Amino acid sequence: MVKCKICGKEFETDRQLHAHLKAHKMRVIEYYQSQYPRHDKHDDTIIKFKTKDQYFACDFNSRTNLKKWIKSAPKEEAKDYCKKLLIDRKEKKNLEYAPTQVELRTLLIPPIQCYNELFGDYYDLCAELGFKSNYYNFEKVITGSDKNKSGAKIYIDTREKKPLRFEGIDTEVRTLKFGDYAFSDEEASCKCYIERKSVSDFIGTLSGGYDRFCREIERAEQADAGFVILVEEMLSRCLSFNYLPQVYKKGTKVTPEYLFHNVRKLGQTYPFIQFLFVKGRVQASETVKKIFTSGCAFKSVDLQLAYDTKKL
């Protein structure tokens, strides 16, 4: 049961309560912000309301405020807070694997770099909290091999409408069972397959095409392959794709929150896959070549973290 804090009337569901608020000539946002005021820990502004769950879960109105608070707060207080964020998420979502850089950056949780600064090693902290992880902290830059000694080539799927271009390495168009790009030397690449997405492709795949995409991932899993979903746009811009008029059609109901919920769900359901967001097609081409010729580095390195820290 939920009780209206204005008149005391009780309701079985939040939805009934929210409908009742019309009797008080009050919007849902006004009700929660006035009756349950919550303030940003950094600048004390009222927490913005999107949903009830979001409102009570948020301590900051933006990632910028979160970062500023962490820098200004006493270190032990910041450590306790950041640690609690991981514990709460693990318990709430029943997570098995340590959140990836993409998962953290799409939530109001600090990125892995921040955890490394506070705790020394993010993955050691996650192990302490009971998470499994496929990755480790690394120092080397993932450059790939400048010389293709094996003479291997990059396979491009026949269905790829706007294939990437690669300098210094041969390509061949052929039908792939999954993904858009593969390396002919499977041993050298640890059977890595790469699915390329424009922003529009990404939106469609993670919304209406979600079930079909899951089946594609499962085919990769059955083949014991690695699978990287490479998006030709920066993660920060994809998180606000509804403000990109060239990709977001008027009347579209898909939101970034819904899309990245699916991204996080896929990452936890299929821990052998990685999402990687890079700036444009040129960097996408360079990244594909690096991944295929880097000696299987993709299997033990969080690729988004490597890209964000300029190690990829």
Q: Give mean pLDDT in consecutive 10-residue pieces for the chain, a chain of 312 residues.
A: 94 96 95 97 96 94 96 97 97 96 96 97 97 89 65 93 91 95 93 95 93 96 96 94 69 84 96 96 95 90 96 92
Task: Give the pairing of strands 2-3 and 10-11.
Answer: antiparallel
Q: Give me the pLDDT at residue 147, please.
A: 53
Q: Give me the pLDDT at residue 309, please.
A: 95
SS3 82: helix
Q: Give me the pLDDT at residue 61, please.
A: 96
Contact 93, 107 (CB under 8 A): no
Q: What share of the chain is helix, strand, coil (3-state, %, to 5)?
A: 45, 10, 45
Q: What is the value of pTM for the model shown?
A: 0.91
Q: How far apart are CA 211 and CA 204, in angstroms?
A: 11
Q: Which fold does the domain 154-308 belong to in CATH?
A: Rossmann fold (3.40.50)
Q: Give me the pLDDT at residue 141, please.
A: 81
